[in-house]
Structure 1
Amino acid sequence: MDNSLPLESPSLSRRQLLNFITGAAVAATAGAALYPAGKFFIPRAETGAGGAILAKDVLGNPIPASQILGELPLTRALVAGLAGEPTYLIVKEDGTLDSIGIVDNCTHLGCTFPWNPMDQQFQCPCHGSRYAPDGTVVRGPAPLPLKIVQVVAIDNSILISPWTENDPRTGEKPWWV
């Protein structure tokens, strides 16, 4: 009777080990070379805490806070806000930015509209909806107040973030959340 143990083949041959080491070295080298190229071609996310983005102009360039704050008090400056939506930023009487921005998108059919400084209203030219300076409906057919966003000026940058708290105009949960 033979009491010897049978010899089993090793689980990883020498050739498989060398192929694994070579593949790992090639992958590490390629990853190290492609990482800077990827960082160059993929644009930086310009978002802050809570989904905040930088206010931009029509061409997509960030707008410095000093440019908006250089306007006259009670001026409404139109910028590209969240998802590129046109958003009015308001310069308060003390020369600072209001913490509330008003999205330029009619709640009736989604038209964009101008601020009329003579009447102190947002006036939709399509169907005649009128909005107060804070975005509440003055005259229909618009059924809801305008969407608002949070605005913060930090280090000459203007950050715009979604409004998630209760709507200060109605005291209720915002309709757009």
Structure 2
Amino acid sequence: MDNTFPLDEPPSLSRRQLLNFLTGATVAATAGSALYPVAKFMVPPTVAAAGGGLLAKDKLGAPIPASQILAEPPGTRALVAGLAGEPTYLTVLDDGSIDPMGIVDNCTHLGCTFPWNPLDQQFQCPCHGSRYSPDGAVVRGPADRPLKLTRVEVRDNAIWLYPWTETDPRTGERPWWV
């Protein structure tokens, strides 16, 4: 009985397999290098702080300096891109500072965006008629919840927005969005 195994030569890589491998690697490297900048362009850059804070930005995505908003007269409401890109109203107070409570411009009825009406001193949703007080509390429905809040901090001429997780000062209860 013969207990030896025949030692065949290992299969060699054919010329066609080698060329297919090299072609595939070249195509993959070229496609990867071309798609990387496109992917970087599609993913927005985030400048985040501890606690989930983000810089307030303008409609083009550039950070807005606090001095730009503070140059406006007291009572001015500036609309900025806030947390998760949601439009957020910042208010200039009488003492020349920015209100530490930002109001998200997103109707709690169906999610419409709405303008501030300085004559009536209300946020007024043009779609279904919901109206909100200057602090975002519901004045008239069909909306049944107050507007979402964000915490605003100004540091080194930068406006930082943080999620509002404290008690809602308008209702005295836990915020509905937390």
Give the % identical residues: 72
Distance (Å, rounded) in 1 between the aligned partners of 2:50 and 2:97: 22
* SS, match of residue 50 in structure 1: coil
Q: Which amino acid aligns with 2:50?
A: A
Look up the match of 2:167. 166
Shift of 1:49: 1.7
| Structure 1: runs of 5+ lacking an equivalent | 1-40
Distance (Å, rounded) in 1 between the aligned partners of 2:109 and 2:45: 35
- Could you give the per-residue CA deviations for residues 105-162 of structure 1, whole angstroms, max 9, x where no partner exists? 0000000000000000000000000000000000000010000000001000000000
| Structure 2: runs of 5+ lacking an equivalent | 1-39
Q: Which amino acid aligns with 1:48?
A: A
Q: Which amino acid aligns with 1:73?
A: P
Give the direction of change, closer, same or farther, for the CA distance of 1:43–1:146 in structure 2 (3 Å limit). Answer: closer
Give the direction of change, closer, same or farther, for the CA distance of 1:53–1:127 in structure 2 (3 Å limit). Answer: same
- Could you give the per-residue CA deviations for residues 70-99 of structure 1, whole angstroms, max 9, x where no partner exists? 111011000000010000001001110000
1:60-139 matched pairs, under 5 angstroms: 60-139=61-140
Give the direction of change, closer, same or farther, for the CA distance of 1:45–1:170 in structure 2 (3 Å limit). Answer: same
Ranges of 4+ aligned residues in structure 1 off by more than 2 Å: 41-45
Shift of 1:44: 5.9
Q: Which amino acid aligns with 2:62?
A: N
* SS, match of residue 80 in structure 2: strand
Correspondence 1:53 to 2:59: no
Q: Which amino acid aligns with 1:47?
A: A
Look up the match of 2:7. none
Q: Which amino acid aligns with 1:152?
A: E
- Could you give the per-residue CA deviations for residues 15-35 of structure 1, whole angstroms, max 9, x where no partner exists? xxxxxxxxxxxxxxxxxxxxx
Q: Over aligned residues, Cα RMSD in angstroms?
A: 1.7
Distance (Å, rounded) in 2 between the aligned partners of 1:59 and 1:65: 17
Q: Which amino acid aligns with 2:128?
A: H
Q: Which amino acid aligns with 1:145?
A: P
Distance (Å, rounded) in 2 between the aligned partners of 1:53 and 1:159: 5
Give the direction of change, closer, same or farther, for the CA distance of 1:82–1:43 in structure 2 (3 Å limit). Answer: closer
Distance (Å, rounded) in 1 between the aligned partners of 2:56 and 2:168: 22
1:6-45 matched pairs, under 5 angstroms: 45=46
Shift of 1:45: 3.8
